[in-house]
């Protein structure tokens, strides 16, 4: 096991050293600083008819792999190609995690896709904007009227300042197709058997939870072994104590707010309390996310705080027994909950067919497209109420989304905040839930991460 | 593992006598090795000197990433967890493996080949599969808890991977299960080489199974013990798949390990510089520990 003969060892080390010197004298990792981002973007571009652009192969990378999403995008791609026979779409589809891991490598290369789905978070879109790797779509927004088509609160999730310091305002770097909302699922039969009512205020919700516990039921279901699911419980709860304006600042990593004020402390203490009193059962941190909602469909727990994306699968088991509500109104009396858009479609700065790509993004986000998405069982980001199915949990989800996005605030996912916040928050919420660290300590970590990023 | 017997050789030809000729034979293999191992290694070492998200421009920070690691709670936790895992991956399998091998060797078990295969099986299965299987076993309503309930030990049931005190040992036990077979097989092979005369002589002198073990078996398999320790310690320190699949380093930072930190920093946090620094530290750590183990193993020989 040892390199006994001394001469061989010195030879290897020597050679390694030579190789090393050669490498170290080579250039630094990465590229030079971005050479002036897409030269002084014009305020509007002339609307070019895609059919006049000549023969084009449009390379699209997406992560719409789940049943209904895949069907919708396939239908849209076909419709686009039928309308513009000169444009051929070359689609490459893979899971969210895989795409996310590849995008950062792909964008820095020279052979980039024309359209790619990029996660809105600062860790992804924010970093790419900062590196000058995404096309500012503002001129196209003017041309195609995207600002009239989309509510401001939805577009704000894809806006960054050109230097990426501000998130929520500034240039436009992508356009979403679908919506998402985090709310509370429940089983009507279960509520009836326990003599509980559907809560309309946070205080009522707390009472129902206590009543459920008193009757020997597990009040809520959470599978948090992956760390991020707790964000979908804490996010909505936070709005009971903290004003939506402050949550938006915190969640988008913009300066001017604090994690350590009293309101946030109350929210985190309440969350810790739920953990300590076993409101999520004996071991939420040891339970798998999918196992948790599966257990819920089989009768474990009374309420399931979770995202709209769970609706279809749970409905398949529970049928009409399953219901969904947006969380009760926030501290200011208006609705507010974690939610937002599906992964937006963006155009890399080095894309070869920018005009065709913009036309494509326009095409897949029109009212007709939204209809097609809904018909295929998806959850369109626009016209949600009108396109809602006639009954079932999907109808309730569509309506809740519409109500919150029109009248209230769709709060950003907390992991949008800073490049490392998904890590910080996931870890901290696990520790609070398991009672390993105090709410104050964890909020201190959140604050440190946020302050370091915003540079306050 | 040195060959002590040396024959007198005939005089080699002039070409073979040439000073650099042996190196020429090494060259092709070395080039491949350099391209796929040394070059990436040096690049990683170089990256560790930069603040770089993995794309776009980078900033030279010298040893800054390493200095940051000194006060990094997550990194220090990861290192301490890796050291604890050595107990589960190396020390425990060595003790159990020694006992098992000694018994198997002495007892002339029927169907030895079958047992060898079964015990070695974990080594053959992809680690991700192992991890998924154990993930199910440790689940709150998984096999382990159901088994505990069935024998009336309800108080012991818990979400093993979600409990800050038990998550790391739980991951460690999977490592123990994985490595014991390998260690035992290595030791069995080593024991197979011990001439039976030695044992006969010992028995004539009135030695029992225990003194036989300490006087003959143990000293004879020192080389195998060293090998087993080196292999299992490397496995312990570079644990990644198990942690990635079962706990993602959680709850909190209870099960994070250096390899997981490398992945997390490079791909989730986009801190490629810091990730490389962790990787370099891990490489140095693996190297140092194994040099020490090898030295100790050789000295006693």
Q: Least CA distance to A102: which residue of chain B?
A: B267
H or E segment and range at residue A236: helix A231-241
Report the distance separating Cα A1 and Cα B48, nearest Å: 29
Residue A43 lies in a domain: no
A294 touches chain B (CB under 8 A): no
Residue A430 lies in a domain: yes
**Tokens found for residue B289:** 């520990």
Per-residue model confidence as pLDDT tens digits over A292-307? 999 999 999 999 999 9
Average pLDDT over residues A84-100: 90
Which is it for the CA torsion A231, A236, A242, A244, positive or negative? positive
Backbone angles phi, psi at B172, to 5 degrees: -60, -40
Residue A231 lies in a domain: yes
A33 touches chain B (CB under 8 A): yes
- Mean pLDDT score across all residues of chain B: 89
Confidence of residue A26 (pLDDT cuts 50, 70, 90): low
* Cross-chain residue pair A423–B47, CB shorter than 8 Å: no
Q: Least CA distance to B43: which residue of chain A?
A: A23
Q: Least CA distance to B22: which residue of chain A?
A: A8
Which chain B residues are closer than 8 Å to A295 by Cβ? 141
Contacts of B48 (CB under 8 A, 6+ apart): B65, B66, B273, B274, B276, B277, B279, B280
Per-residue model confidence as pLDDT tens digits over B245-277? 999 888 989 999 999 999 999 988 889 999 999
Per-residue model confidence (pLDDT) at position A5: 36
Which chain A residues are closer than 8 Å to B57 by Cβ? 30-34, 131
Distance from CA of A52 to the nearest CA of B (A): 35
- Mind spelling out the 3-state secondary structure of chain B? CCCCCCCCCCCCCHHHHCCCHHHHHHHHHHHHHHHHHHHHHHHHHHHCCEECCCCCCCEECCCHHHHHHHCCHHHHHHHHHHHHHHHHHHHHHHHHHHHHHHHHHHHCCCCHHHHHHHHHHHHHCCHHHHHHHHHHHHCCCCHHHHHHHHCCCHHHCCCHHHCCCCHHHHHHHHHHHHHHHHHHHHHHHHHHCCCHHHHHHHHHCCCCHHHHHHHHHHHHCHHHHHHHHHHHHHHHHCCCHHHHHHCCCCCCCCCCCHHHHHHHHHHHCCCHHHHHHHHHHHHHHHHHHHHHHHHHHHHCC
CB A407 within 8 A of CB A334: yes
Residue among B23, B46, B252 minimizing CB distance to A436: B252
Per-residue model confidence (pLDDT) at position A303: 97
Tell me: do A223 and A303 sit in the same domain.
yes
Average pLDDT over residues A432-450: 95
To probe the interface with A, which of B38, B46, B140 has the most A CB atoms within 10 Å? Answer: B140
To probe the interface with B, which of A15, A29, A300, A427 has the most B CB atoms within 10 Å? Answer: A29
> How far is Cα of residue A383 from the mean position of the Cα atoms in its chain?
20
Where among A380, A406, A428 does a domain terminate?
A380
* Cross-chain residue pair A28–B251, CB shorter than 8 Å: no
H or E segment and range at residue A160: strand A159-160
CB A124 within 8 A of CB A103: yes
Distance from CA of B120 to the nearest CA of A (A): 23
Beta bridge partners, A349, equal none
Distance from CA of B208 to the nearest CA of A (A): 34
Biggest CA-to-CA distance, chain A: 83
Burial readout A197-234 (b: 16 or more C-beta within 10 A, e: otherwise) = eebeebeebbebbebbbeeebbbbbbbbbbbbbbbbbb
Higher-pLDDT residue of B120 and A273 is: A273
Per-residue model confidence (pLDDT) at position B31: 95
Count Cβ–Cβ pairs < 8 Å, chain A vs chain B.
161
Tell me: do A208 and A302 sit in the same domain.
yes
Residue A366 lies in a domain: yes
For residue A263, what are the domain limits? Answer: 180-341+393-454
Residue A4 lies in a domain: no
Q: What is the DSSP letter of A44?
A: -
* Cross-chain residue pair A19–B38, CB shorter than 8 Å: yes
Predicted complex ipTM? 0.81
Angle (CA) A208 A209 A213, round 5°? 115
Percent of chain A with pLDDT over 70: 90
Backbone angles phi, psi at A425, to 5 degrees: -70, -45
Per-residue model confidence as pLDDT tens digits over A418-433? 989 999 999 999 999 9
Per-residue model confidence (pLDDT) at position B237: 93
Confidence of residue A14 (pLDDT cuts 50, 70, 90): very low
Per-residue model confidence (pLDDT) at position A345: 96
Within 13 A of B111's CA, how many CA atoms are on the CB side?
Answer: 5
* Cross-chain residue pair A2–B298, CB shorter than 8 Å: yes
Q: How far is CA A201 from CA A231, A327, A331, A334, B219, in A?
A: 21, 8, 10, 11, 74
Per-residue model confidence (pLDDT) at position A188: 95
**Tokens found for residue A172:** 């436009």
Residue A12 lies in a domain: no
To probe the interface with A, which of B252, B260, B265, B293 has the most A CB atoms within 10 Å? Answer: B252
Cα–Cα nearest to A139, from A308, A293, A361: A361
Which chain A residues are closer than 8 Å to B227 by Cβ? 1
* Cross-chain residue pair A287–B39, CB shorter than 8 Å: no
CB B84 within 8 A of CB B172: yes
Tell me: do A157 and A129 sit in the same domain.
yes
Cα–Cα nearest to B144, from B160, B155, B132: B160
Confidence of residue B298 (pLDDT cuts 50, 70, 90): confident
| From A35-44, A103-112, A339-348, the region with the lowest mean pLDDT | A35-44
- Mean pLDDT score across all residues of chain A: 88
Tell me: do A297 and A240 sit in the same domain.
yes
Interface of B with A in 159-188 (CB under 8 A): 159-164, 167
* pLDDT at B14 > cutoff 80: no
Per-residue model confidence (pLDDT) at position A20: 44
* pLDDT at A22 > cutoff 50: no
* Cross-chain residue pair A286–B138, CB shorter than 8 Å: yes
Report the distance separating Cα A19 and Cα B72, nearest Å: 31
Distance from CA of A26 to the nearest CA of B (A): 10
Per-residue model confidence as pLDDT tens digits over B40-82? 999 999 999 999 888 878 899 999 999 999 999 889 999 999 9
Confidence of residue B166 (pLDDT cuts 50, 70, 90): very high
* pLDDT at B201 > cutoff 60: yes
CB A74 within 8 A of CB A131: no
CATH number of the domain residue A115 falls in: 3.40.190.10
Tell me: do A185 and A318 sit in the same domain.
yes
Which chain A residues are closer than 8 Å to B135 by Cβ? 288
Distance from CA of B116 to the nearest CA of A (A): 25
Which chain B residues are closer than 8 Å to A287 by Cβ? 139-140, 159, 162
Give chain A's domain count: 2
Residue A386 lies in a domain: no
Report the distance separating Cα B182 and Cα B179, nearest Å: 5
Which chain A residues are closer than 8 Å to B248 by Cβ? 225-227
Per-residue model confidence (pLDDT) at position A1: 33
Confidence of residue A73 (pLDDT cuts 50, 70, 90): very high
CB B162 within 8 A of CB A286: yes
Confidence of residue A201 (pLDDT cuts 50, 70, 90): very high
Report the distance separating Cα B222 and Cα B228, nearest Å: 10
Interface of A with B in 405-444 (CB under 8 A): 419-420, 422-423, 426-428, 430-431, 433-434, 436-437
Backbone angles phi, psi at A183, to 5 degrees: -145, -150
Tell me: do A418 and A278 sit in the same domain.
yes
Report the distance separating Cα A23 and Cα A18, nearest Å: 9
Tell me: do A362 and A411 sit in the same domain.
no
Per DSSP, the three-state class of A62 is strand
CB B133 within 8 A of CB A405: no
Confidence of residue A174 (pLDDT cuts 50, 70, 90): very high
Per-residue model confidence (pLDDT) at position A312: 85
* pLDDT at B33 > cutoff 80: yes
Tell me: do A232 and A293 sit in the same domain.
yes
Residue among A23, A128, A284 minimizing CB distance to B43: A23
Contacts of A38 (CB under 8 A, 6+ apart): A132, A135, A136, A349
To probe the interface with A, which of B251, B256, B295 has the most A CB atoms within 10 Å? Answer: B251
Percent of chain A with pLDDT over 90: 68
Tell me: do A141 and A285 sit in the same domain.
no
Tell me: do A324 and A191 sit in the same domain.
yes
Cα–Cα nearest to A107, from A89, A91, A129, A123: A129
**Tokens found for residue A182:** 């985090």
* Cross-chain residue pair B56–A127, CB shorter than 8 Å: yes
A399 touches chain B (CB under 8 A): no
Most confident of A27-36, B21-30, B76-85: B76-85
Per-residue model confidence (pLDDT) at position B7: 59
Cα–Cα nearest to A283, from B165, B37, B62: B165
Residue A57 lies in a domain: yes
Tell me: do A116 and A188 sit in the same domain.
no
| From A22-26, A409-413, B10-14, B202-206, the region with the lowest mean pLDDT | A22-26
Per-residue model confidence (pLDDT) at position B229: 93
Tell me: do A240 and A324 sit in the same domain.
yes
A218 touches chain B (CB under 8 A): no
Report the distance separating Cα A303 and Cα A317, nearest Å: 16
Confidence of residue A31 (pLDDT cuts 50, 70, 90): low
Per-residue model confidence as pLDDT tens digits over A100-153? 888 888 888 888 999 999 999 898 999 899 989 999 999 999 999 999 999 888
Average pLDDT over residues A304-325: 93
Beta bridge partners, A409, equal A336
- DSSP H helical segments within A277-366, as ranges? 289-297, 311-318, 354-363
Which chain A residues are closer than 8 Å to B140 by Cβ? 281-283, 286-287
Average pLDDT over residues B26-53: 93
* pLDDT at A47 > cutoff 70: no
* pLDDT at B284 > cutoff 90: yes
| From A24-28, A279-283, A404-408, B86-90, the region with the lowest mean pLDDT | A24-28
> For strand B59-60 and strand A179-187, is the pairing parallel, antiparallel, or unpaired?
unpaired
């Amino acid at each position: 096991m040892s390199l006994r003969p001394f001469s061989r060892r010195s030879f290897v080390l020597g050679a390694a050293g030579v190789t090393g010197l050669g490498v170290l004298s080579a250039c630094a990792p990465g590229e030079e600083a971005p050479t002036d981002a897409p030269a002084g973007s014009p305020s509007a571009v002339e609307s070019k008819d895609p059919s006049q652009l000549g023969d084009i192969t449009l390379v699209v990378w997406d992560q719409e792999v789940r049943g209904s999403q895949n069907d919708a995008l396939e239908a849209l791609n076909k419709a686009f190609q039928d309308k513009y026979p000169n444009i051929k779409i070359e689609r490459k589809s893979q899971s969210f995690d895989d795409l996310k891991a590849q995008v950062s490598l792909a964008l820095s290369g020279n052979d980039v896709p024309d359209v790619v789905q990029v996660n809105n978070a600062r860790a992804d879109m924010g970093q790419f904007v900062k590196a000058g790797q995404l096309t500012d779509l503002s001129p196209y927004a003017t041309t195609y009227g995207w600002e009239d088509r989309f509510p401001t609160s939805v577009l704000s999730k894809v806006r960054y300042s050109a230097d990426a310091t501000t998130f929520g305002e500034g240039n436009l770097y992508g356009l979403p197709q679908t919506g998402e909302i985090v709310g509370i699922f429940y089983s009507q039969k279960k509520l009836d058997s326990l003599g509980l009512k559907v809560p309309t205020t946070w205080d009522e919700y707390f009472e129902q939870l206590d009543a459920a516990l008193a009757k020997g039921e597990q009040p809520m279901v959470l599978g948090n072994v992956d760390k991020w699911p707790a964000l979908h419980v804490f996010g909505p709860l936070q709005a009971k104590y903290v004003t939506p304006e402050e949550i938006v600042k915190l969640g988008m990593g913009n300066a001017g707010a604090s994690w350590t004020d009293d309101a946030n402390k109350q929210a985190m203490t309440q969350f810790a309390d739920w953990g300590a009193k076993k409101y999520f059962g004996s071991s939420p941190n040891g339970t798998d996310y999918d196992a948790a909602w599966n257990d819920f469909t089989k009768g474990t727990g009374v309420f399931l705080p979770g995202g709209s994306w769970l609706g279809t699968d749970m409905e398949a088991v529970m049928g009409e027994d399953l219901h969904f509500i947006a969380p009760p109104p926030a501290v200011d009396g208006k609705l507010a909950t974690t939610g937002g858009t599906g992964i937006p479609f963006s155009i890399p700065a080095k894309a070869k067919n920018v005009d065709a790509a913009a036309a494509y993004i326009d095409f897949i986000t029109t009212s007709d497209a939204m209809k097609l998405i809904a018909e295929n069982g998806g959850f369109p980001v626009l016209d949600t109420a009108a396109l809602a199915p006639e009954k079932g949990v999907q109808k309730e989800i569509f309506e809740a989304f519409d109500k919150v996005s029109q009248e209230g605030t769709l709060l950003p996912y907390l992991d949008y905040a800073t490049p490392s916040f998904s890590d910080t928050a996931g870890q901290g919420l696990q520790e609070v839930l398991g009672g390993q660290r105090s709410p104050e300590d964890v909020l201190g970590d959140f604050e440190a991460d946020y302050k370091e990023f915003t540079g306050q | 593992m040195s060959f002590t017997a040396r024959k007198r050789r005939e005089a080699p030809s002039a070409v073979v006598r040439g000073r650099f000729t042996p190196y020429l034979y090494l060259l092709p293999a070395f080039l491949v090795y350099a391209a796929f191992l040394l070059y990436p290694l040096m690049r990683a070492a170089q990256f560790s000197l930069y603040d770089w998200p993995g794309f776009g421009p980078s900033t030279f920070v010298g040893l800054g990433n390493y200095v940051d690691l000194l006060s990094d709670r997550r990194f220090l936790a990861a290192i301490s967890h890796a050291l604890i895992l050595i107990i589960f991956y190396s020390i425990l399998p060595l003790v159990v493996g020694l006992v098992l091998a000694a018994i198997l060797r002495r007892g002339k078990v029927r169907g030895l080949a079958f047992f060898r295969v079964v015990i070695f099986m974990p080594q053959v299965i992809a680690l991700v599969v192992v991890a998924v299987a154990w993930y199910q076993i440790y689940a709150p309503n998984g096999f382990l808890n159901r088994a505990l309930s069935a024998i009336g030990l309800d108080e012991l049931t818990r979400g093993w991977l979600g409990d800050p005190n038990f998550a790391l040992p739980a991951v460690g036990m999977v490592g123990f299960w994985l490595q014991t077979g390998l260690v035992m097989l290595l030791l069995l092979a080593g024991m197979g080489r011990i001439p039976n005369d030695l044992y006969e002589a010992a028995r004539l002198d009135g030695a029992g199974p225990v003194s036989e073990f300490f006087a003959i078996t143990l000293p004879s398999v020192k080389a195998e013990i060293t090998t087993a320790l080196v292999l299992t310690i490397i496995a312990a320190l570079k644990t990644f798949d198990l942690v990635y699949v079962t706990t993602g380093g959680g709850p909190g930072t209870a099960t994070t390990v250096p390899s997981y930190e490398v992945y997390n920093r490079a791909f989730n946090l986009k801190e490629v510089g810091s990730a490389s620094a962790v990787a370099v530290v891990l490489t140095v750590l693996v190297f140092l520990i194994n040099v020490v183990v090898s030295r100790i193993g050789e000295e006693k020989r």
